[in-house]
Amino acid sequence: MARDPGRVLIFDTTLRDGEQSPGASLNLDEKLAIAQQLARLRVDIIEAGFPFASPGDFDAVQTIARQVGRPDGPVICGLARATRGDIKACADAVAPAANQRIHTFLATSDIHLEHKLRKSRAEVLQIVPEMVAYARSLVDDVEFSCEDAGRSDPEFMYQVIEAAIAAGATTINIPDTVGYATPAEFGALISGIDAHVPSIGQAVISVHGHNDLGLAVANFLEAVKNGARQLECTINGIGERAGNASLEELVMALHVRRSYFNGYLGRAEDSSEPLTGIQTEEIYKTSRLVSNLTGMAVQPNKAIVGANAFAHESGIHQDGVLKNRLTYEIIDARTIGLSDNRISLGKLSGRSAVRARLEELGYQLEGEDLNDAFARFKELADRKREITDRDLEAIVRQNAQQIESYYQLAGVQVSCGRDLRATATVTLRTSDGEECSQAAIGTGPVDAVCQALNGLVQVPNELVEFSVKSVTEGIDAMGEVTIRLRQDGRLYSGHAADTDVVVAAAQAFVNALNRLVSGQKHSPLHPQRAPLPAPAL
């Protein structure tokens, strides 16, 4: 039997695999805010990034290790290919954390060996123990992944796992990278490893999977029944293509159906001991934070965290719910941190009230950042009677976006209407103090604003997404705009919110342009190397 930590460990990869979603890229402050919230959610392991990929990735992992990797906090993990350079960089990046892990990987399928790595099976059997042992010489906690496990010859994979464990791997991860497995197949893959690797008792079996067929969560639950004790997942299920297994769905399935799963973990059926270490009341807050900072909206019908997940619109249901909540709801909304009676803030709310509410929402702002957020709060409170949590989130998100900005929007003016040509005049200020204005006409006010901004900035780009949604209800609601620009196949997103949708659009466009411009600049310390492509794991 594989090593049993006594419960199911939650390995969150929102900041590594999740961040690989097109257009989801996060800056350092945003990554740190998410990592701090993941610690409050009490995930067991945070995969903070791929340190060797770029200096920015290295810094992010190191900062998270320093600020979130407390002795009673989560294990901070970095990803590394099975090479000395990657593993050394990873060890250096996670070094400030009290609990450190290196996660290294190598393919075990013949397709990958022949076409990608150009290595023989014998070479793999030599590299894996060598690199795992090297990682173990730097940290005590080493995870090894068999990339493309699903298409590997099982006998060969068992040998590789045996060699990795002999060299010191403490966790063995089995990924379904392409999201092809069905639950029964995936369960059999895990039980095969449990049965055929003699030293598996020294390691925890982990699973990783993508949701191409919508089966990632189902596959993982089947893996738990067959001996897996670590689940690699992301908040809101974000990730490449159709995403990763969703943390909140896995955790709540194990929570709500505890009596079903208890037996597989060797517990009495009626045991009420939680199956994961997750603080479920932090789930909703974490979901909102990740959605806000990545700009990846959660679909309304998404399980657990979607806007409609707890709403009962139809008459019959409402009647049933009023009589007894459990008639139609299998989860009490408070379990995930959703309470229905919230006091909203207004014009007379002071700085400490705003700060306290922001902290509850997962944002810890100090000094200048808090001043900026409070100033924006006051400005909004003059225009809007009630400031909700969503409004506050929009304010903070806008602050975070402006930190690294080269261009600042100094003014927007539009004229539009029926029988009028939409005209916009915009003024930009650069961080060097220069100011310039431009006017343009367009098919509508937003188009005119974008034309004018493009005229000023003069960097080629293609607008691939423009979406507006209202943050809250009512005529004075803030409109939230998301814009995605494409240049050379890369996506850059910008968000902004304002009670004036045209101003929000202008600000979102400027935020996206800032990301595009800063993405082109290379650090003077590392001028040569372009970032590594994302690993296929």
CB 1 within 8 A of CB 194: yes
H-only helix segments in 297-341: 315-323
Q: By rule CB under 5 A, what count of residues binds Zn ion?
A: 2
* Residue 44 engages Zn ion in binding (rule: CB under 5 A): no
Whose tokens are 């930009």? That residue is 428
| Closer residue to Zn ion (CB): 146 or 502 | 146
**Least distance in angstroms from the C-beta of 430 to Zn ion:** 39
**Least distance in angstroms from the C-beta of 175 to Zn ion:** 6
CB 268 within 8 A of CB 49: no
**Least distance in angstroms from the C-beta of 207 to Zn ion:** 11
**Least distance in angstroms from the C-beta of 21 to Zn ion:** 11
Can you give the length of the chain in residues? Answer: 537
Q: For residue 282, how many C-alpha atoms fall within 13 Å in the half-sphere facing its CB?
A: 19
- Write phi, then psi, for 219 (nearest 5 degrees): -60, -40
Residue at shortest CB range from Zn ion? 17
Segment lying near Zn ion (by CB under 5 A), choices 17-25, 101-109, 187-195, 511-519: 17-25
* Residue 147 engages Zn ion in binding (rule: CB under 5 A): no
DSSP labels for 359-400? Answer: HHTT----HHHHHHHHHHHHHHHHH-S-B-HHHHHHHHHHHH
Segment lying near Zn ion (by CB under 5 A), choices 14-22, 212-220, 333-341, 401-409: 14-22
What residue type is assigned to position 391 of the chain?
D
Here's the x/- map for Zn ion, 478-517, by CB under 5 A: it reads as ----------------------------------------
* Residue 17 engages Zn ion in binding (rule: CB under 5 A): yes
What's the rounded Cα separation, in Å, for the pair 298 and 290?
10
What residue type is assigned to position 66 of the chain?
R
**Least distance in angstroms from the C-beta of 242 to Zn ion:** 11
Beta bridge partners of 140: none
| Closer residue to Zn ion (CB): 103 or 288 | 103
Segment lying near Zn ion (by CB under 5 A), choices 9-17, 268-276, 338-346, 423-431: 9-17
Sorted by sequence, the CB contacts under 8 Å of residue 10 that are 6+ apart come out as 43, 44, 45, 230, 231, 233, 247, 250, 251, 276, 277, 278
What residue type is assigned to position 533 of the chain?
P
Segment lying near Zn ion (by CB under 5 A), choices 10-18, 328-336, 343-351, 461-469: 10-18
CB 226 within 8 A of CB 191: yes
**Least distance in angstroms from the C-beta of 234 to Zn ion:** 9
Q: Is the dihedral of CA 458, 462, 463, 465 positive or negative?
A: negative
**What strand order describes the sheet that includes 462-470?**
462-470, 479-487, 490-498
| Closer residue to Zn ion (CB): 73 or 237 | 237
**Least distance in angstroms from the C-beta of 535 to Zn ion:** 8
**Least distance in angstroms from the C-beta of 176 to Zn ion:** 9
CB 166 within 8 A of CB 144: no
Of 174, 145, 163, the residue nearest 202 (C-alpha): 163
**Least distance in angstroms from the C-beta of 536 to Zn ion:** 8
Segment lying near Zn ion (by CB under 5 A), choices 13-21, 76-84, 334-342, 523-531: 13-21
| Closer residue to Zn ion (CB): 19 or 44 | 19
| Closer residue to Zn ion (CB): 188 or 536 | 536
Tell me which residues touch Zn ion (CB under 5 A).
Answer: 17, 537
